[in-house]
Structure 1
Amino acid sequence: MSAIRQDAPDGTGITARPPRMLLGETGRALIEPSVVVYRLESGRHRQTGLVIEVSIDDYRNGRIRGHEATQPARVRQLDEQTEATGIERMPVMLVHRGHLRTRLDEITAETPAVRLTSNGVIHTVWVRHDADLARALGDEIGGMRNLYIADGHHRMLAAERYGARRGRLGPDHPSAFTLAAVFPSDEMRILGYHRCFALTPGTSAQDVLDRLAGDPSIARIEESSAPTKPGVVAVGLGEHWYRLWLRTALEPGGIDAFVIEQDLLPKLHDLTDHQIETPPNRHHALEACWCSDQNALRLIPHPPTIEQVLATSDEGRSMPPKSTWFDPKPIPDLFRRALT
């Protein structure tokens, strides 16, 4: 089925088309126009969206917008993997402000094609072969002014580079599109992201606290293990947890991660050595912090809201690294799409 674009109010729109791919768990090839509904469930959280192909040109032209900077080495690695295999193994996770829920409810009442659990997340996929419904949903996506990258900034840029080398193959070639799972913004969950930094030899917890106490961006510091909230950053030192009350809490739209990156970390550069990579925690922010048994500074900002993330994208700004962790996420190889 050819791509569909329906102009949004400003004269532009998203170009989307039904996916042509293999459904990983079944090996089923989806070639005819199909509606693919994808649901992720983690505890009480549930988000339901569509799997589609989106145009790389929409990313180039700013209709598909990101909010985080990318790491060149990671983009290069993904680009090389795609070049070697000619396969996309995981969709980029996108967010929309639309309202597709009513149309999807009917499909999710049917028997799913796939249902599996991975790392505590239930992944369910429904497939309906219905050209008219696929066209109608494509029109709705096409009428949206923008889509936003929640997870997959590196995969999107790698897809753009892969497609750029094959521009001569035309706008309908598979390389001119990339696989995406598109979810409504009001169903997204963002977690606080642990950031851990090894302390330099000889640096004590008190040295860090003294330095932080003199920072003008901090209103006060108190020892506490209470959960974070907007404008309050959790700081772990040794066996103790503290709360930093940021002055930006009083500023409309203030994002804690910006304060950490732009104000706090530069003030602590001589007290910290290297960053320790840690995954975010799906549960309580202070549980199972991977670097809690090391001589390290642990920082856990309150996560931004989805509207703050989308507003940052609309403003053309990039959030600092490790600012957002959208959870749950798609998994590799549930959907596989050939680019040749």
Structure 2
Amino acid sequence: MAKIIPFKAVRPTRDKVSLVTSRSYDEYSPAELASQLDFNPFSFLHVLNPAYVNQQKIGLEKRFKLVAQKYHDFKEEQILIKEDKPVFFIYEIQSKNQQFTGIIAGTAIADYQNNVIKKHEDTLQYRVELFKDYLHQTGFNTEPVLITYPDNTELTAWIAQKKQGDSLYEFATTKREKHILWKIDDDAEIAWLMKQFDTIGNLYIADGHHRSASAELLYEQDHASGNNNLNYFMSFLIAESNVKIYEYNRIIRDLNGLSKTAFLEALSAEFWIKNKEQQLWKPSKKFEFGMYLDGEFYALLLKDEHSFTSVLERLDAQILYEKVLHPILGIGDLRNDERIDYIPGKLSIVTIKEVIDEGEFEVGFMLFPTDISEIKSLADNNLIMPPKSTYIDPKFRSGLVVYELAP
């Protein structure tokens, strides 16, 4: 049974929400970031990067304290306001081709620890500890963990009905997205929603494994203080059919000393190879792989699809690693090997072609996106995906809703 709770959210005032909220900090190019910080005094990026004005090079502890101070300033100036009582939110993101709708709520550390909230990705301890220290020093989080729940007709109907009411916010962004937020503050509806999730067996983390792990580490460190806010972390809960899963494509700097002919011959032991020449070809089903090499596209079709004994072995990203990247190209560490890089499948495969044609990389591989059922099966079997296996939408806007960790 999954436990969710409403919380006293901090959020922008209605008149400033489109100015305050931002994409994730690391999505901005240096020029975009400078423009936002120079010309938009209300941007939440000022909270996330408080040293910008003086171009200071400072240590992490001082930086975290400056973040906390700038956040406090935004509240003092009434750019951000706090709810009078605990609430839930319904949040919708609309783009030209997609629409995502989910529930913003607090989810329980206990559920995370007891595997009611299931994981499928490994985490890097230094990143977990770094973000734990950030949370401890700043006292807030504005990046919810993206969690999926099984499709539920009652929840779907309830959300559709609540969307007919007046929204709290409705604004557009320069990325041509529309964002809408509805507040759920009625006690009876809050109790009903909590009961709905109480009947759900498991939730699955889609994106945010480091954030949830950091929240658990902070809980372990500070929960003896009696601060109940540490018992939960903010999540964006969305029906599993409503997430969009993209692949992460791989680009490699060299052929590990092999000639093109020798490399293709090595591939032919495991794959049927079809030269697609200048056709922009990408896989259309599992066990197919696209490749771009020396100005031409290739289709790689796995010869034996029936030799696998686990869901991890059947995963396309794992197959590519076990049959190509590791034994032929000598890539051992997918996280840290400087010979490999990644391009999200949300970008056109023309991007891969352009990067390789520029000469820094020699070969690129295109994968078929992982299915949500594969992710759930991995999590159910306590298996871990290879790094950079999935790029998942939707992405949450920083500064839209803030979960305060301070009591």
Query: 2:378 maps to what in 1?
Result: 312
Question: Is this contact kept in 1: 2:331–2:340, CA < 8 A?
Answer: no
Distance 1:106 1:311 in 2: 32
Match of 2:83 among 24, 30, 34: 30
Query: 1:184 maps to what in 2?
Result: 239
Please give the residue correspondences for 1:199-210 in structure 2 after superposition, counting only pairs within 5 Å.
199=254, 203-210=258-265
Distance 1:298 1:327 in 2: 23
Please give the residue correspondences for 1:254-293 in structure 2 after superposition, counting only pairs within 5 Å.
254-270=314-330, 274-284=338-348, 286-289=349-352, 291-292=355-356, 293=358
| Structure 1 unaligned regions, length at least 5 | 1-12
Aligned with 1:199: secondary structure? coil
Query: 1:159 maps to what in 2?
Result: 215
1:324 maps to 2:390: yes
| TM-score, normalization by structure 2 | 0.73
User: Which residue identity does 1:268 align to in structure 2?
Assistant: I
Q: CA deviation at 1:122?
A: 3.2
Compared with structure 1, are the counterparts of its residues 35 and 213 closer, same or farther at alpha carbon in structure 2 (3 Å cutoff)?
same
User: Which residue identity does 2:8 align to in structure 1?
Assistant: R
**Deviations 1:236-258, CA, capped at 9 Å, x for gaps:** 22322211112454579632112
Compared with structure 1, are the counterparts of its residues 278 and 269 closer, same or farther at alpha carbon in structure 2 (3 Å cutoff)?
closer
- More off after superposition, 177-186 vs 34-43: 34-43
Compared with structure 1, are the counterparts of its residues 210 and 174 closer, same or farther at alpha carbon in structure 2 (3 Å cutoff)?
same
- More off after superposition, 35-44 vs 301-310: 35-44
Query: 1:8 maps to what in 2?
Result: none
Compared with structure 1, are the counterparts of its residues 321 and 226 closer, same or farther at alpha carbon in structure 2 (3 Å cutoff)?
same
Query: 1:95 maps to what in 2?
Result: 148
**Deviations 1:249-284, CA, capped at 9 Å, x for gaps:** 457963211202233211134489724444414254
Query: 2:271 maps to what in 1?
Result: 219
Query: 1:138 maps to what in 2?
Result: 194
Query: 1:55 maps to what in 2?
Result: 108
Query: 1:302 maps to what in 2?
Result: 368
User: Which residue identity does 1:131 align to in structure 2?
Assistant: D
User: Which residue identity does 1:153 align to in structure 2?
Assistant: H
Question: Is this contact kept in 2: 1:90–1:332, CA < 8 A?
Answer: yes
Q: CA deviation at 1:20?
A: 2.2
Distance 2:256 2:303 in 1: 31
Query: 1:43 maps to what in 2?
Result: 96
Question: Is this contact kept in 2: 1:65–1:147, CA < 8 A?
Answer: yes
How many pairs does the alignment contain? 323
Question: Is this contact kept in 2: 1:16–1:54, CA < 8 A?
Answer: yes
Q: CA deviation at 1:92?
A: 0.3
- Larger Rg, first or second structure (1 or 2): 2
| TM-score, normalization by structure 1 | 0.87
Question: Is this contact kept in 1: 2:255–2:363, CA < 8 A?
Answer: no
Distance 1:96 1:314 in 2: 14
Compared with structure 1, are the counterparts of its residues 80 and 204 closer, same or farther at alpha carbon in structure 2 (3 Å cutoff)?
farther
More strand by share: 1
Distance 1:251 1:42 in 2: 41
**Deviations 1:132-158, CA, capped at 9 Å, x for gaps:** 111101111121111100000011101
Aligned with 1:94: secondary structure? strand
Compared with structure 1, are the counterparts of its residues 220 and 179 closer, same or farther at alpha carbon in structure 2 (3 Å cutoff)?
same
**Deviations 1:172-230, CA, capped at 9 Å, x for gaps:** 7111110000000111111121222211686544443232223xxx3311122333121
Aligned with 2:92: secondary structure? strand
- More off after superposition, 43-52 vs 191-200: 191-200
1:17 maps to 2:69: no
**Deviations 1:62-116, CA, capped at 9 Å, x for gaps:** 0101111112232232222212211112100000004111111112123322233
More helix by share: 2
Compared with structure 1, are the counterparts of its residues 67 and 101 closer, same or farther at alpha carbon in structure 2 (3 Å cutoff)?
same
| Structure 2 unaligned regions, length at least 5 | 18-78
Distance 2:288 2:318 in 1: 13
User: Which residue identity does 1:288 align to in structure 2?
Assistant: T
Aligned with 1:47: secondary structure? strand
Distance 2:196 2:220 in 1: 27
Task: Quote the RMSD (CA, aligned, Å).
Answer: 2.4
Distance 1:88 1:248 in 2: 47
Distance 2:207 2:167 in 1: 25
- More off after superposition, 222-231 vs 174-183: 222-231
Question: Is this contact kept in 1: 2:282–2:367, CA < 8 A?
Answer: no
Query: 2:173 maps to what in 1?
Result: 117
Distance 2:191 2:240 in 1: 22
Aligned with 2:394: secondary structure? coil
